[in-house]
Chain A
Amino acid sequence: MTYIRTSLHIVALPLILIFIWFLATLGEASFFVPTPQLLIETFFETWTSERFLSDVFPSLGRLMIGIALSILIGIVGGLLIGSFRWLRALLEPTLEFFRAIPPPVLIPVIMLLIGIGDEMKVSVIVLGAVWPILLNTIEGVRSMDEVLADTSRTYGMNRVNTVRYLILPSAMPQIMAGIRQSLSIALILMVISEMFASTEGLGFAIVQFQRSFAIPEMWSGIVLLGLIGVVLSFIFQLAERWILGWYHGLREIEQSA
């Protein structure tokens, strides 16, 4: 029963919006806004054919590699910077500077330096998406509970075990919050990186549709991007529930106390 209710809650607003959209396009349809029926038709026509392999697949591949690299670099870098005070003092002002630069403006520069291939696109994604993870990891390492750290020290925990069983899990709530932010940044940068000097990819396809006045196709690309975002966030939530199960349980008990 609750299952049905939750699913109803999830689909209610989209259904209402689609209905309003359906009503608004009932009369003489605008050239620039397709009807829902046409859009759904176009969606399947456009993205289930060879475009999936030629555009969607490479885009998703770069997105995944970009996210994976961001997570890896962000966590490893964050653990190091968070653990050594001198390293933090040395790097933090510079990191703030680089973080402040919007990654899209770096695209022309990166193109000059490493070309226009996949490396460039993945680099752009990482350059934007790494920051929330890196900075949150640093913060997470720094906000380590003192008693827990003392406990580990009194039991003579070695370096590897200290990272594995103390520092990493204790920073994990912040790391996951950082990853959540990074996912949406990565998706945005995936699209933007494909708008420059590209021959394939979702971003490229959408721009191409737009320029060739294939308006329903363009909209269907935007819908696809939205769906990718939803799926990403769903996967993330599953992973978070698994990794941070202890954290949510602990929070629940603290709040009810």
Chain B
Amino acid sequence: MTSEHSQPTNPVVSQSSIQDTPDGRIPVGRTMPDEQPMLSVQNLKKVYHTDGGDIEAVRNLTFDLPKGQLACLVGPSGSGKTTLLKCISGLMAPSAGEVTLHGQKVTGPPKSMAVVFQEYGRSLFPWLRVAENVELPLKNQGMEKAARKEAVEQALEAVGLAHVPKSYPWQLSGGMQQRVAIARAVAYQPEVLLMDEPFAAVDAQTRADLEDLVRGIWKKLGVSVLFVTHDIDESVYLGERVIILSSSPTIIQEDVLVDLPAERDQLETRSSQRFAELRHHVYEQIQLAKKGFRPEEAAAMR
């Protein structure tokens, strides 16, 4: 019996680890000491200085993203998700703490990182055609023309847009535009893919398709993905791990491992019991966060 337990046959997180951590609960601000993390956020803090006084958007965030992981960052609205992402992507300097990629401090947008923004309509170049949009970062890198052409074709193929390379982005639907943005990121071959609420502005059915697309691409390319969302279902469905943020000033409320099967299916997975449990747990935490529950205060009370 015991030997069966120690050697689980399916890729699901083993029984024993679930027993060890009821509700999949692991220490807040999980870091991964075993292996060199891909991306590491250490004591990140961001304070905006305004005329009306200082606004503390992010208080103290620490977490690691190991190579090849798909982690979702979920938090109540106004929890500084976008601020955090801007700091990680090097678009904004943190007030304190640091972000490191492969042990190197991020001071500007790193080469091996690609970002997919929520506002697809504003992140694609309206004066360039679909294929040109995907091609531009490669051209900028000095990739050979033939190699570029192939990479663009493959990327468009991967997102199911091989038939519209000559269209302008604004001629496409919202979901298709976001696919173009994803194709551009894919063609760039990043090691880390940051996605800032990429599907917040598309309709529910398109969103389901895009979620599966992201899972598919992540598996195929083996990139690390940090997926920011405010949608709890989405975070549980997509992620191997859900990092729950508190309300602003942001800290990590909880770091949950998602022990759902690797093969996910919109119908099967979403109706499974484990999905419901995880969703319930994350939802509860977000509700707590909205009410202003703060884990550091709770810990002090204990």
Contact between A147 and B137, CB atoms less than 8 A apart: no
Contact between A155 and B188, CB atoms less than 8 A apart: yes
Contact between B125 and A148, CB atoms less than 8 A apart: yes
Distance between Cα atoms of A158 and B91 in the complex (Å): 15
Contact between A161 and B139, CB atoms less than 8 A apart: yes
Name the residue of chain B whose CB is nearest to the CB of A170: B127
Contact between B140 and A249, CB atoms less than 8 A apart: no
Contact between A153 and B140, CB atoms less than 8 A apart: no
Within 8 A of B (CB), among A79-113: none
Contact between B128 and A165, CB atoms less than 8 A apart: yes
B302 close to A (CB within 8 Å): no
Residues of A near B170 (CB, < 8 A) are 246, 249-250, 253
A169 close to B (CB within 8 Å): yes
Name the residue of chain A whose CB is nearest to the CB of B139: A161
Flag B106-141 by CB within 8 Å of A: 1 or 0 each.
Answer: 001101011101010011011110000000110111
Q: Which of B113, B123, B139 contacts A147 (CB 8 A)?
A: B123
Contact between A151 and B126, CB atoms less than 8 A apart: no
Residues of B near A250 (CB, < 8 A) are 126, 168, 170
Query: Smallest CB–CB gap between B82 and chain A, Å?
Result: 11
Contact between B171 and A249, CB atoms less than 8 A apart: yes
Distance between Cα atoms of A165 and B125 in the complex (Å): 8
Q: Which of A145, A153, A253 contacts B91 (CB 8 A)?
A: A153
Residues of A near B140 (CB, < 8 A) are 155-158, 161
Given known contacts A150-B117, A155-B137, A253-B170, is B125 in contact with A166 (CB within 8 Å)?
yes
Main secondary structure of the interface of A (DSSP, over half): helix
Contact between A154 and B125, CB atoms less than 8 A apart: no
Contact between B125 and A155, CB atoms less than 8 A apart: no
Contact between A165 and B136, CB atoms less than 8 A apart: yes
Residues of A near B235 (CB, < 8 A) are none
Query: Smallest CB–CB gap between A242 and chain B, Å?
Result: 12
Given known contacts A161-B139, A249-B168, A253-B171, is B114 in contact with A154 (CB within 8 Å)?
yes
Distance between Cα atoms of A249 and B167 in the complex (Å): 11
Residues of B near A165 (CB, < 8 A) are 125, 128, 136
B79 close to A (CB within 8 Å): no
B285 close to A (CB within 8 Å): no
Contact between B111 and A148, CB atoms less than 8 A apart: no
Given known contacts A158-B140, A249-B171, is B111 in contact with A147 (CB within 8 Å)?
no
Contact between A148 and B123, CB atoms less than 8 A apart: yes
Residues of A near B123 (CB, < 8 A) are 147-148, 150-151
Distance between Cα atoms of A146 and B119 in the complex (Å): 11
Flag A48-89 by CB within 8 Å of B: 1 or 0 each.
Answer: 000000000000000000000000000000000000000000
Within 8 A of B (CB), among A169-208: 169-170, 172
Distance between Cα atoms of A247 and B119 in the complex (Å): 18
Distance between Cα atoms of A175 and B188 in the complex (Å): 32
B253 close to A (CB within 8 Å): no
Residues of B near A249 (CB, < 8 A) are 168, 170-171
Name the residue of chain A whose CB is nearest to the CB of B92: A150
Q: Which of B90, B115, B139, B168 contacts A151 (CB 8 A)?
A: B115
Within 8 A of A (CB), among B39-71: none
**Chain B residues in the interface with A (C-beta under 8 A):** 86, 89-91, 108-109, 111, 113-115, 117, 119, 122-123, 125-128, 136-137, 139-141, 168, 170-171, 188
Q: 7 interchain pairs (CB within 8 A)?
A: A147-B119, A150-B86, A153-B91, A156-B140, A169-B127, A249-B171, A253-B171
Given contacts A154-B114, A155-B136, A249-B170, 16 further A-B contacts (CB under 8 A): A146-B122, A150-B117, A150-B123, A151-B115, A153-B108, A153-B109, A156-B137, A157-B137, A157-B140, A166-B125, A169-B127, A246-B170, A247-B126, A249-B168, A249-B171, A253-B170
